[in-house]
């Protein structure tokens, strides 16, 4: 279900701005499965951000990371704010981060086509 503007604004008051392309996705499409990954809708996003901040607050790269969901193994993935790339943090790997997609747009298109 697409996110209402009030829900988006409420999230942004607590966590800061949602990256523009992902904000469009939330407002137009909501969330759900994209390809084989789970992308949070606005209803799940705040809880995911709270959990992620609680568990990972000491990690440096998180400052530029905007979590959008969890992969099939339960690893957090999201947008690197500095580059716009989608990255996934591999659990149990001392914070190893891997490229998931060159952009949220490419990720969404690839997930729709697959």
* Ramachandran region, residue 33 (left: φ > 0; alpha: ψ -120 to 50; beta: rest): beta
The overall pTM is greater than 0.75? yes
For residue 22 the two structure tokens come to 């992902």
The per-residue pLDDT for range 7-35, each reduced to its tens digit, is: 999 999 999 999 999 999 999 999 888 88
User: Which residues, in sequence order, are bridge partners of residue 34?
Assistant: 37
CATH number, domain containing residue 11: 3.40.1580.10
Domain that holds residue 9: 5-113
Structural domains of the chain, count: 1
**Alpha-carbon torsion angle 60, 100, 95, 67, nearest 10:** 50
Task: Please tell me whether residue 59 adopts helix, strand or coil conformation.
Answer: coil
The per-residue pLDDT for range 26-79, each reduced to its tens digit, is: 999 998 888 888 899 999 999 999 888 777 655 555 668 899 998 888 888 999
User: Which residues, in sequence order, are bridge partners of residue 96?
Assistant: none
């Amino acid at each position: 279900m697409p996110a209402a503007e009030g829900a988006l604004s409420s999230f942004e008051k607590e966590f800061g701005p949602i990256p523009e392309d992902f904000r469009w996705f939330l407002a137009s499409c909501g969330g759900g499965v994209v390809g084989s990954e789970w992308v949070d809708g606005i209803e799940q996003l705040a809880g995911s951000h709270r959990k992620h901040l609680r568990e990972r607050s000491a990690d440096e790269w998180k400052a530029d990371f905007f979590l959008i969901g969890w992969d099939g193994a339960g690893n957090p993935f999201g947008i690197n704010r500095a580059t716009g790339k989608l990255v996934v943090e591999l659990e149990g790997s001392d914070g190893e981060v891997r490229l998931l997609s060159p952009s949220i747009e490419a990720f969404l298109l690839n997930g729709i086509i697959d």
